[in-house]
Amino acid sequence: MPKVFNWQIGREMDYLYEGKRPKRQFAMLLDTNKCIACQTCTVACKTTWTPGRGQEYMFWNNVETKPYGYYPLGWDVRILEKLGVQDVDGPVYEGKTLFESAPSGERILGYLPDDRDYAHPNVGEDDSRGDMPQGALLEMPHMQWMYYLPRICNHCTYPACLAACPRMSIYKREEDGIVLLDQTRCRGYRECVRACPYKKTFFNPVTRVSEKCVGCYPAIEQGRQTQCTITCIGKIRLQGFIGTPETARDDNPIDYIVHHAKIACPLYPQFGLEPNTYYIPPIHVPPRFLVQMFGAGVGDAIAGYRKAAEDEKLLGALLLFGATPMIVHRYEVQAGHSIGYDEKGAELVRVPLKEAIHVRAAFDEAYQAYRTNIT
Amino acid sequence: MATRHMAAGALALLLLATAGAATAQMATLQAIRTATRGPFLDPEAAFWQQAPAVTVAMLPQTITTPSDPTPAVSSLNVKAAHDGRWFAVLLEWADATRSDRIVVDQFGDQVAVEFPLVYEKDALPSPMMGNTGRRVEIWQWRAAFQADLARGRPVDTHDLYPNAHVDVYPDQVLQAIDTRPYMGAVGVDNLITRAGRSPVLEQVAEGWGTLTIEPEDQQADGKGVWRDGVWRVVLTHPMKGGDGDVRFVPGEETAAAFAVWDGGSGEVGPRKAWATWITVELAR
């Protein structure tokens, strides 16, 4: 089996195909600290892509409450249990990936969910973990906690779905790294559904073939960010392209946040797929849980995030979240503004690092009236 | 496991029942000539009593990944016949459960027979779906397609989940042409999505992963009947197809190989039981 380099686990690993990176790689940043699980992204995706027959319980985008929310039921704890206890503490992952854990006669360690596992997309909503005894005070990290995890297909560098398909119906686009499932070629074997540890390939029982998140590729081709990104009312997302640690550009906001400031982490990097959605981890959650979910860099990521105000360039990148529907290929911070540019260098957006503050006097002289604080 | 024991028991009964007519353990299948006219769409037609049966041992597919080291079906009972214009193969096997409802964790029963596109006794294609330059034709019968035909229309959500409630679908508010993007593989005419006029797909292959449906050449037909723990499936095809199609000539021979999937055991794609070539001799 060929060896490929996975920078997220800091080492080479086995993969079914030879490692060839696309010309550029679709990526998304998600700030979990800002997500309120309003599901606007979920609905935007649903109405755009999956309102059809056989897609009733299919959510290419979903937001689940961690630690007790799952879609489909138990997706992460089930594959973590199969993978077994692994050492995830160091910068180089010494444990086994899902490819390296493949049972005899299989290409990858996986499991096929039950039909009913998809029946409660919002199970566990707002359920929190931990005790809060009488008289206790919340400290950081919180002893009682939950947070929201918005999820799409990770458009992995080393997709398990792609490796698992015996018909090679799944391909990774050279131009943007988006992973697509050929609807004319698929025969509904569900090997991809079994293989994807994030369970972001789905089976449509009416068309009898599998379907998955298409990364809103028609929008990407027009220089536009995905539906889930541009509809996010909390401005928690930024979608664009990411380089590797070697090719990262400091004037690409995604590269700056992931590779330079290192405040965003991949989801379950130990699985070995090099997923390309990156999460700014929730700052109030116990580190042990976060290390398992986001890898060894999560502690530094939180420390860096808390000091974001001291790094003008980082602040500028963070302020581009939700600032424009277009993909920001380059940005700079200049004269108190973060300025985003498109691929051709045209200015897309200009965001002030600090909003102007207006103070209104409590007493209105013109009307001889007190202003009350109502909204 | 209980299912497999039951299946084995039913198979023993099946073999006893056919032992009289069978030329067991022979690697040659005699295709009788029948006065009954094709296409042969009745697996329980009387003339099949006259056709000698060959018992084909089905092997686990463990050569490529993903594999199936413990397939549910251990043997197929095979017969063949023709009328000079139509050729048919009858396949019988024990299966305690009829599986024709397909949702994410449920798979359909299937059976397939393959023929070399060009028969050369000393240069057969790989029995595993052919190899480059040595093409095979594969007829695959699907229980889910049989259920589609019995229903008289393609499967819909309410067939699979009778209590489902859905407010509205795009095809209920948009013009037909607009709804194709909302129909996934149906919208791009993927023939795997539903039965056409027959429950059998006519396909070609030159090795694993190359199986291709021939949209312009779907002449294979057939029918499967499940009764008392046994599937009886007939697959039929004109003896003289079009250009590039497999041909059957009275008095000559060809080869056939087989695959079978037990949906109830989660078998699909490469997770199957298979068998290598046997000779098929067509009566004059």
ipTM comes to 0.92
Q: How confident is the model at residue A88 (pLDDT cuts 50, 70, 90)?
A: confident
On whether both B248 and B185 belong to a single domain, the answer is: no
Query: Which amino acid does the sequence have at A73?
Result: L
Where does a domain end: B142, B165, B193?
Answer: B193
**A127-135: average pLDDT:** 86
What is the least distance, in Å, from the CA of B69 to any CA of chain A?
A: 8
Quick one: pLDDT at residue B175? 78
Best B63, B104, B142 member to test A by mutation, with max A CBs in 10 Å, is B104
Least confident of A167-171, A249-253, B166-170: B166-170
Question: Domain containing B86: what range?
Answer: 2-153+195-282
Boundary residue ending a domain (B166, B193, B220): B193
Same domain, B168 and B123: no
User: Do B71 and B89 share a domain, yes or no?
Assistant: yes
What pLDDT does residue A89 have? 84
- Say yes or no: B204 and B110 in one domain: yes
Q: Out of A184, A202, A208, name the one closest to residue B102 (CB).
A: A208
**Residues in B touching A183 (Cβ below 8 Å):** 184-185, 187-188, 190
Residue B6 has a pLDDT of 44
The verdict on B196 touching A (C-beta cutoff 8 Å) is no
**Per-residue pLDDT tens digits for A8-48:** 999 999 999 999 999 999 999 999 999 999 999 999 999 99
Chain B residues touching residue A168 (CB < 8 angstroms): 209
Task: Give the pLDDT confidence score for residue B17 in this predicted structure.
Answer: 42
| Percentage of chain B exceeding pLDDT 90 | 83
Hey, what are A56's tokens?
Answer: 């009733």
Q: Where are the alpha helices (DSSP H) in chain A?
A: 40-49, 75-83, 160-164, 191-195, 217-221, 227-230, 253-255, 287-294, 298-306, 312-318
Residues B240 and B258 in one domain: yes
Name the CA dihedral angle for A340, A346, A349, A354, rounded to a multiple of 10 degrees.
60
Which CATH number fits the domain that encloses residue B260? 2.60.40.1190
| Chain B CB within 8 Å of residue A171 CB | no
Q: What is the per-residue pLDDT for A139?
A: 85
pLDDT of B21: 40
Q: Give the model confidence (pLDDT) of A342-361 as tens digits.
A: 999 999 999 999 988 988 88
Average pLDDT, stretch A179-192? Answer: 98
Quote the DSSP letter at residue B126.
P
pTM: 0.92
Contacts of B103 in chain A (CB under 8 A): 115, 203, 205
Q: Which of B104, B156, B266 sits opposite A193 (nearest CB)?
A: B104
Q: How far apart, in whole angstroms, are the C-alpha atoms of residue A193 and residue A165?
A: 10
Helix A287-294 to helix A298-306 angle (10° resolution) is 110
Q: Is A205 touching B (CB cutoff 8 A)?
A: yes
Q: How far apart are CA A112 and CA A193, in angstroms?
A: 6
Q: Check B169 against A53: CB less than 8 A apart.
A: yes
Contact A163, A214 (CB under 8 A): no
- Per residue in B34-64, pLDDT (tens digit) is 999 999 999 999 999 999 999 999 999 999 9
Instruction: Note the pLDDT tens digit of each residue in B247-281.
Output: 999 999 999 999 999 999 999 999 999 999 999 99
pLDDT of residue A374: 64
Task: Tell whether the model's pLDDT for residue B19 goes beyond 80.
Answer: no
Q: Are residues B212 and B181 in the same domain?
A: no
Contacting residues of A for B174, CB less than 8 Å apart: none
Residues in chain A closer than 8 A to B110 (CB atoms)? none
What is the 3-class SS of B47-107, one letter each residue? HHHHCCCEEEECEEECCCCCCECCCCCCEEEEEEEECCCEEEEEEEEECCCCCCCCECCEC
Same-domain status, B62 and B87: yes
Residues 6+ apart with CB under 8 A from A153: A60, A179, A198, A200, A201, A212, A213, A215
The answer on B149 and B160 residing in a single domain is no
Query: Would you tell me which residues 36-75 of chain A have a C-beta closer than 8 angstroms to some C-beta of chain B?
Result: 51-56
The answer on pLDDT for B13 being more than 70 is no
Same domain for B185 and B275, yes or no, is: no
Picking from B166, B170, B192, the nearest residue to A187 by CB comes out as: B192
pLDDT score at B181 = 86
Q: Which of B171, B193, B215 is the last residue of a domain?
A: B193
Predicted confidence at residue A43, as pLDDT, reads: 98
User: How many domains does chain B fold into?
Assistant: 2
Give the rounded percent of residues in chain A with a pLDDT score beyond 70: 99
Helix (H) / strand (E) element for A30: namely strand A25-31
For residue A371, what pLDDT is reported?
87
The reply to whether B141 and B161 lie within a common domain is: no
pLDDT category of residue B1 using cuts at 50, 70 and 90 = very low
Q: Which domains does chain A have, with CATH numbers?
A: 22-375 (3.30.70.20)
The model's pLDDT over A316-342, given as tens digits with 9 standing for 90+, comes to 999 999 999 999 999 999 999 999 999
Mean pLDDT of A69-92: 95
Report, as an integer, the average pLDDT of A271-295: 97
In single-letter form, the type of residue at position B195 comes to A
B170 touches chain A (CB under 8 A): yes
Across A78-82, B230-234, B244-248, B264-268, least confident range: B244-248
Round the average pLDDT of chain A to a whole number and report it. 96
Judged by a CB distance cut-off of 8 A, whether residue B104 touches chain A is: yes
Contact status of A209 with chain B (Cβ, < 8 Å): yes
Residues B90 and B175 in one domain: no
Nearest residue on chain A to B62, alpha-carbon basis: A105
Find the residue in B nearest to A50 (Cα).
B182
B7 and B98 together in one domain: yes
* Interchain pair B69, A208: CB under 8 A: no
